[in-house]
């Protein structure tokens, strides 16, 4: 399904363009189709220049001015959906029934997700949600962490244990109240360089995709391994080994001290986002601002150099491999 560019992605486009990257390179870095980047630069750029904030405002203005056509507003289709809800049919059942009745007319069909969205956005959302079995609350299916074949923390080589090289991260999450999203955090063991990624939920596929997008920004030599917590949100991150060549390890259950660097950093992050923070109200820009503040803070363990200085300025030691 097509999705709009985010402010975070637009910020990355501006950075890469400033660095001289062409459209093909930008598309590869973002995991987007080159035509998407070309269209974005053409429609939301300004005289050859591209600025993320201005591009975001232009895109929002264009969407606001665009006439909104929704299947829900079609009288015949809307009536069919309302009748189904009144009979306490689930959105999946309504959508399936419409597909059965109108197999050759896509205008008379609608997806279950569209029905859920329409209910949530309706002025009478509480009225319609009352007909649903779970009163409009989608069931959250916990995914079993697929870590049985992954390396355990006691299998990490000495070079990681002794913090002898850059690119060995520890990973975890900082979460808000249920349903409000959170942050996925990665911290380099040697430099304490921190990556903060806003996530909408603990869904394993979503967490994997968001981390993959950010890790693609790093050179291969600075993304060597990650030691994750055993949370189900990391159940799909084994794909990072295939996609980015990152070696994964998983800590033992109930042993947060095995990722002490990450736990300490999450404590620092909580100074900016205390417990109870609803992360759907936190922008990607705000998360990136806190990331920059932490990475530009001198650390005693680094002889008062900053994590950014150590992570990006220190010469990589190939002898540590």
Q: Determine the pLDDT at residue 315.
A: 61
74-130 residue pLDDT tens:
778 888 888 888 877 888 888 888 888 888 888 788 888 887 877 776 656 566 666
The yes-or-no verdict on residue 64 having pLDDT over 80 is no
Fold match flag (7-65 vs 151-320) = no
The yes-or-no verdict on residue 138 having pLDDT over 50 is no
The mean of the pLDDT values for the chain is 83
Q: Determine the pLDDT at residue 149.
A: 58
Q: Determine the pLDDT at residue 320.
A: 45
The yes-or-no verdict on residue 281 having pLDDT over 90 is yes
Residues 6+ apart with CB under 8 A from 314: 166, 191
Domain ranges of the chain: 7-65, 71-129, 151-320
Q: Determine the pLDDT at residue 119.
A: 72
Question: Higher model confidence: residue 306 or residue 86?
Answer: 306
- 50: its two tokens: 């591209």
Q: Determine the pLDDT at residue 71.
A: 64
User: What totals of helices (H) and strands (E) does the chain contain, helices first?
Assistant: 14, 6
Q: What percent of the chain has pLDDT over 90?
A: 35
**151-320 topology per CATH:** Nucleotidyltransferase; domain 5 (3.30.420)
Question: Higher model confidence: residue 67 or residue 142?
Answer: 67
Lowest mean pLDDT of 13-17, 81-85, 98-102, 135-139, name the range.
Answer: 135-139
The stretch 132-156 carries a mean pLDDT of 58
Question: What would the DSSP string read from start to end of 268-303?
Answer: HHHHHS-TT--GGGS-HHHHHHHHHHHHTS-BGGGT
Q: Are 222 and 244 in contact (CB under 8 A)?
A: no
Q: What is the pTM of this model?
A: 0.54
Lowest mean pLDDT of 2-6, 167-171, 295-299, name the range.
Answer: 2-6
The stretch 280-309 carries a mean pLDDT of 91
Q: Determine the pLDDT at residue 139.
A: 44
Q: Are 118 and 81 in contact (CB under 8 A)?
A: yes
How far apart (Å, rounded) are the C-alpha atoms in residues 256 and 164?
22
237-278 residue pLDDT tens:
888 888 899 999 988 887 888 888 999 999 999 989 999 999
153-186 residue pLDDT tens:
889 999 999 999 999 999 999 999 988 999 999 9
The stretch 129-146 carries a mean pLDDT of 50
Question: Higher model confidence: residue 65 or residue 206?
Answer: 206
CATH code matching the domain that covers 7-65, chosen among 3.40.50, 2.40.128, 1.10.10, 1.20.81: 1.10.10
Q: Are 94 and 115 in contact (CB under 8 A)?
A: yes
Q: Determine the pLDDT at residue 243.
A: 86
């Amino acid at each position: 399904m097509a999705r709009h560019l985010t402010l975070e992605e637009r910020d990355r486009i501006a950075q890469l363009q400033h660095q001289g990257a062409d459209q093909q390179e930008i598309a590869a870095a973002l995991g987007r189709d080159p035509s998407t980047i070309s269209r974005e630069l053409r429609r939301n750029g300004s005289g050859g220049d591209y600025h993320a904030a201005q591009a975001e405002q232009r895109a929002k203005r264009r969407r606001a001015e665009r006439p909104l056509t929704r299947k829900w507003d079609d009288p015949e289709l809307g009536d069919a959906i309302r009748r189904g809800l009144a009979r306490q049919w689930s959105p999946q059942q309504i959508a399936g029934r419409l597909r059965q009745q109108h197999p050759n007319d896509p205008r008379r069909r609608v997806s279950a997700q569209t029905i859920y969205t329409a209910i949530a956005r309706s002025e009478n959302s509480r009225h319609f949600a009352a007909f649903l079995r779970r009163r409009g609350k989608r069931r959250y299916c916990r995914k079993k962490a697929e870590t049985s074949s992954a390396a355990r923390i006691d299998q990490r080589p000495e070079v990681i244990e002794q913090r002898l090289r850059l690119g060995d991260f520890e990973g975890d999450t900082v979460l808000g109240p249920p349903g409000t999203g959170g942050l996925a955090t990665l911290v380099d063991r040697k430099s304490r360089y921190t990556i903060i990624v806003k996530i909408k939920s603990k869904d394993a596929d979503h967490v994997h995709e968001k981390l993959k997008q950010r890790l693609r920004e790093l050179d291969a030599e600075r993304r060597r391994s990650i030691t994750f917590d055993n949370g189900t949100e990391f159940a799909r991150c084994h794909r990072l080994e295939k996609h980015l060549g990152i070696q994964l390890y998983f800590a033992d259950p109930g042993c947060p001290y095995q990722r002490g660097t990450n736990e300490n950093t999450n404590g620092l992050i909580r100074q900016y986002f205390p417990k109870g923070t609803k992360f759907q109200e936190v922008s990607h820009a705000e998360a990136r601002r806190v990331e920059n503040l932490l990475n530009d803070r001198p650390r005693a363990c680094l002889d008062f150099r900053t994590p950014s200085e150590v992570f990006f300025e220190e010469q990589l030691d190939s002898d540590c491999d």
